[in-house]
Structure 1
């Protein structure tokens, strides 16, 4: 379509960054990422909301929406069409955008304070209730078999959860995100009109299970995470979905590393790489090699870790491709550096770990607030252990400030360990200031 031509040679992630820069130039705020660009190019977003429209017109002066490949606003059903009545558009929020379908808007409703409002998910009759027992088809199936709108809503739920996690972390999302997952499996039980819809529902439900598993993982609920990842893996095997299988094994490897089972991490990462051979994505293979490297580092196998890191870097250097999975939009140079930092940290090479962590912080896209917090915390810990307590305290102060916006048990636990490592240096003014602030934050948590 025309919009794809406007992107040119840039990857979806690079183009999304350009959109965000253009938005800042005109004072707009849009949460554009590679997933959004993919939805536009796939025709899922027929007409952008007003904020995006202003940004796109700024980027491509002289082009109307139709010239960019969008449908005229008055032809789009739902709020997008009704907005032409003259009422001023509402500002975009995490859960209220004109381009979303009626099904999705009814599925995601927000209330309360800004951060917690964005994490409030509830399902209404358009999608089966979260309270509907999985063993009983939802009331929806009695009259209408499941079709394209429901499949699209499940897919959009995955994107929404990932976006909210990028911004706010897992803690406030986990329990609410399990509701749309149960609804997705209820839709599968209800049956779809066409096999293509069934396939989309299986893939969407599997990706939802991985997303909820990740939220459990990042919240320190390792047993729950393991169960959700296993559910996603089982779903992938039902349909022979190699992409879903690779993703499930990828996250299983990550969980095993964090849970202190490095040999399982290696095996799961290798299984993911076998599944990924069916896919033409060097970037995916690069990430999976990094998962394996993390396992070797946990085993203390420096040679195995270095060899796998080299493979990961080589694969990453081949660049992005159109076959990269949508969920991998977070995986750029910053993530590569951050995961390598974690490997060197596990091997006790603190100075080398700190160099990579510092690059990860510098390179990270501002959109990924959670990852900036993670890498800043990683940097603080590496500096503390490499004999640079004052610099470590400065980084830890920045991480502590970011944790006011991001809720992650895993990241907070890392910062707690850094505080312990810095206690012998309390006499230094910067270290003392951090330790005092850290203690106050712990009391108010």
Structure 2
């Protein structure tokens, strides 16, 4: 990069003869402290506020290394505009405020060029292309005993939080541990999802046998079904850490071995499906790195056992995760790999879902024609109807999910009215059993309506979602609802908007 004229000239040099006194070199503006940001920090110390920033980042799936020094630099005016990751976190922490409200300068003024209208996703550290990724060691190496006791938090000295109440102090004790992000929200909100985690205990409580048999293979398969059932009803938050225990036990059973090949095949398939289920709980609760690891674990299991159905499922979820994590090209590649694995399985409905995963990647790339081709293929395959070859895990995939995923595609392409039409159909078609999906589709509808300029309808849909949050705990849904609230802020006078914003603002932090 070429250095500036001011940096390259010495103090003794005369100004260049062509420079006119009417156009002097603009002086460097002195750094002004960011008083608005200092006011937003309130009575918290820089260290306490930095901890709050890190927690808020985890709530929306971001990862920032915020410390007291960073907060000090912002308040001193040294950081005039945060990067995109911090921007998303600050807007999440202070709904309704803009970067300007927080004392930051426009990005274009800081970088000397026009700001991007749509911030690109921040690159995630240490991610490599899927083809070259090293698969992690499976959880069976951590021992065969199901570690329910390991889920209990140890007492630590709590730090201060937004509200120094006893409940928040106890939450802070959770937050000193890696498991805190999901369990904190479940602890704060209570409700049925917290109770639902107890349903996983029977699968985690029994130690692994010396050698696995039919009973152990059946237990692994039942654990997969139970996790999926609980997720359908309550969402991922509060379930993730409990579900990790039976996963460790399943891989310990694989390590123990079995005397029959048929049982070994069932265990391989069951452990792989369990890894995908636990990965989905991590995915839906915003733990993208954990989800990526679990999906890679399932893919490794599929490759080692030559299980095309498990491989297609692992690639399917990997594509979905890549789309959500802002890696749309990887989403396209993973969806295409899933389709190659699934062609031999004879399930048009599975190929339909995988075409939708590919469509989501194309939409993320802004490729409308590629997205449209994949959507047409998905609809045609779906119309072929169900078959005996459809995998058991695809019970969620019906007409409602088809409409919901298409809504997400049009939303990514910025066609809000079309997205809203599909989201409305998805919510109306969804079986009442799938409470989480009803909340998801309705949250999608609220956001699409808000962006389509229909704030009153958006507020009504958002209010419906709030009514479901006692039953459903999903970081994805919570984040969508918070975004809708920000979009609706300028429309507070529209019918129903103020009431929705007040109800949303009254929700416990993290909901």
- Structure with greater helix share of residues: 1
Contact 2:258 2:264 in 1 (8 A): yes
1:122 Cα deviation after fit: 2.6
Q: List per-residue Cα deviations over 1:117-170 (Å, max 9, x = no partner).
A: 222223579842xxxxxxxxx5x31xxx21100000000000000000000000
Is structure 2 residue 197 aligned with structure 1 residue 119? yes
Q: List per-residue Cα deviations over 1:265-297 (Å, max 9, x = no partner).
A: 000000000000110000000000000000000
CA gap 1:357/1:444 in 2 versus in 1, 3 angstroms:
closer
Residue 191 of structure 1: which of 257, 265, 276 is its match? Answer: 257
* DSSP-derived class of the 1:441 partner: coil
CA distance in 2, matches of 1:442, 1:381: 21
Contact 2:447 2:483 in 1 (8 A): yes
Contact 1:123 1:179 in 2 (8 A): no
Q: Name the structure, 1 or 2, with higher relative contact order (CA <8 Å, separation 6+).
A: 2
Residue 354 of structure 2: which of 288, 293, 311 is its match? Answer: 288
Partner of residue 411, structure 1: 477
1:443 Cα deviation after fit: 4.3
Contact 2:346 2:389 in 1 (8 A): yes
Partner of residue 388, structure 1: 454
1:114 Cα deviation after fit: 4.4
1:444 Cα deviation after fit: 8.0
Taking structure 2 as the reference length, the TM-score comes to 0.62
CA distance in 1, matches of 2:508, 2:192: 22
Is structure 2 residue 199 aligned with structure 1 residue 155? no
CA gap 1:341/1:329 in 2 versus in 1, 3 angstroms:
same
Q: List per-residue Cα deviations over 1:421-443 (Å, max 9, x = no partner).
A: 00010112400000000000144
1:381 Cα deviation after fit: 0.3
Is structure 2 residue 401 aligned with structure 1 residue 335? yes
Count of aligned pairs between the two proteins: 321
RMSD after superposition: 1.4
Partner of residue 377, structure 1: 443
Partner of residue 105, structure 2: none
Contact 1:369 1:406 in 2 (8 A): yes
Contact 2:193 2:239 in 1 (8 A): no
Report which of the two structures shows the higher radius of gyration computed on alpha carbons. Answer: 2
CA distance in 1, matches of 2:492, 2:391: 46
CA distance in 1, matches of 2:510, 2:313: 37
Q: List per-residue Cα deviations over 1:175-226 (Å, max 9, x = no partner).
A: 0000000000000000112000000000000000000000000000000000
Contact 1:127 1:150 in 2 (8 A): no
- Segment drifting more, 420-429 vs 279-288: 420-429
* DSSP-derived class of the 2:506 partner: helix
1:242 Cα deviation after fit: 0.2
Residue 230 of structure 2: which of 154, 161, 164 is its match? Answer: 164
* DSSP-derived class of the 1:278 partner: helix
Residue 353 of structure 1: which of 401, 419, 423 is its match? Answer: 419
CA distance in 2, matches of 1:123, 1:357: 37
Partner of residue 311, structure 2: 245
Is structure 2 residue 480 aligned with structure 1 residue 401? no
Is structure 2 residue 222 aligned with structure 1 residue 179? no
Partner of residue 293, structure 2: 227
Taking structure 1 as the reference length, the TM-score comes to 0.71
Contact 1:250 1:268 in 2 (8 A): yes
Gaps in structure 1 of 5+ consecutive residues: 1-111, 129-137
